[in-house]
Chain A
Amino acid sequence: DAGITQSPRYKITETGRQVTLMCHQTWSHSYMFWYRQDLGHGLRLIYYSAAADITDKGEVPDGYVVSRSKTENFPLTLESATRSQTSVYFCASFEPGYSPLHFGNGTRLTVT
C-alpha cells in the first residue's frame, strides 16, 4: 500500500540504550521529516532531509542522529536514550509544489 510507515508503533527502552525508529515512504517524496509530539508543545521538528544524503537540523536535534541513504527511508536514532526523550515521534514526507505534508501513524517511545 502506498503511504508512510513507521516502526515500531510502540517501544519501551532503558536509559542509555540506543534505539532506532524507522520510517519508510512509498511516494518517492524528496523531503522527509521527524517530529516529536509532547503535551503542550505541539509538534517540534527534530531533523529533516531534502533528498538522499542531505539532512539538516530542526528545532530540537540534540541527542538524535539521522541518515538517509535511500530516498524512501529516513531512520531516527537515539544514541543514548534519556527519559526526556519519552515522546510520540512522527515521520512525515512531502514533495514541494505537489503535496501537503503526509504523516505516519507515529511511534510511542517510553524511556525508563
Chain B
Amino acid sequence: AQSVTQLGSHVSVSEGALVLLRCNYSSSVPPYLFWYVQYPNQGLQLLLKYTSAATLVKGINGFEAEFKKSETSFHLTKPSAHMSDAAEYFCAVSDGSSASKIIFGSGTRLSIRP
C-alpha cells in the first residue's frame, strides 16, 4: 500500500528565505511523486512530478524537488520565498498505473512573512 506523510501542517518563512516542505512516502513499487499547490478558493495545480527520470525535478515558479530513494523522501524547495508563494502544498504518490491510485498527503500551509 502507498502512503505519503507531510511533516508540518504549517510552515512560515520570511520573504527571501529558503522554503523547505517535507514529504516522505511509502510505496511497494517504484513510485510516481507529485507536488501540487492550492491557492485560496481554487483547485490544485501541478507544481512538478517525478516519474523515474532525473532525481532532481524542476517545477514551475522556481520550485524543485529531489527524489531520495534511500530516505524515501521527496522534499520541495525554493531558494528564495516570494509573497505569492503563500498557499497550501500537497505531496502525492502514485504507483503510476492509474491516477485512481494517487494518494495525497494532508497538506502543508506555507505562510510568507514580509
Asked if B7 is an interface residue, CB under 8 A from chain A, the answer is no
The count of chain B contact residues (Cβ–Cβ below 8 Å) is: 19
Asked if B31 is an interface residue, CB under 8 A from chain A, the answer is no
Name the B residues within 8 Å of A58 (CB-CB): 100
Asked if B67 is an interface residue, CB under 8 A from chain A, the answer is no
Q: How far is the CA of A56 from the CA of B98 in the complex (A)?
A: 13
Nearest-CB distance from A108 to chain B (Å)? 9
Q: Which of A12-20, A63-71, A76-84, A94-102 lies at the interface with chain B?
A: A94-102
Asked if A74 is an interface residue, CB under 8 A from chain B, the answer is no
Asked if A45 is an interface residue, CB under 8 A from chain B, the answer is yes
Q: How far is the CA of A12 from the CA of B93 in the complex (A)?
A: 33
Asked if B43 is an interface residue, CB under 8 A from chain A, the answer is yes
Partner of B100, one of A56, A104, A105: A56
Q: How far is the CA of A93 from the CA of B104 in the complex (A)?
A: 16
For B98, give the chain A residue with the smallest CB separation.
A96
> Are A103 and B45 within 8 A (Cβ)?
yes
> Are B34 and A100 within 8 A (Cβ)?
yes
Q: Given the interface contacts A42-B90, A42-B106, A90-B43, does A48 sit within 8 Å of B100 by beta carbon?
A: yes
Q: How far is the CA of A105 from the CA of B43 in the complex (A)?
A: 4
Partner of A101, one of B42, B99, B106: B99
Nearest-CB distance from A4 to chain B (Å)? 8
State which residues 4-51 of B face A: CB under 8 Å: 9, 34, 36, 41-46, 49
Name the A residues within 8 Å of B46 (CB-CB): 100-101
Q: How far is the CA of A50 from the CA of B99 in the complex (A)?
A: 10
Which residues of B are interface residues toward A (Cβ below 8 A)? 9, 34, 36, 41-46, 49, 90, 98-100, 102, 104-107
**Additional 7 contacts, C-beta under 8 A, given A48-B100, A106-B42:** A33-B100, A41-B106, A42-B90, A42-B104, A42-B106, A42-B107, A43-B90
CB-defined A-B contacts under 8 Å, sample of 18: A31-B99, A33-B100, A42-B90, A42-B107, A48-B100, A58-B100, A90-B44, A100-B34, A100-B46, A101-B36, A101-B44, A101-B102, A102-B43, A103-B44, A103-B45, A104-B43, A105-B42, A106-B43
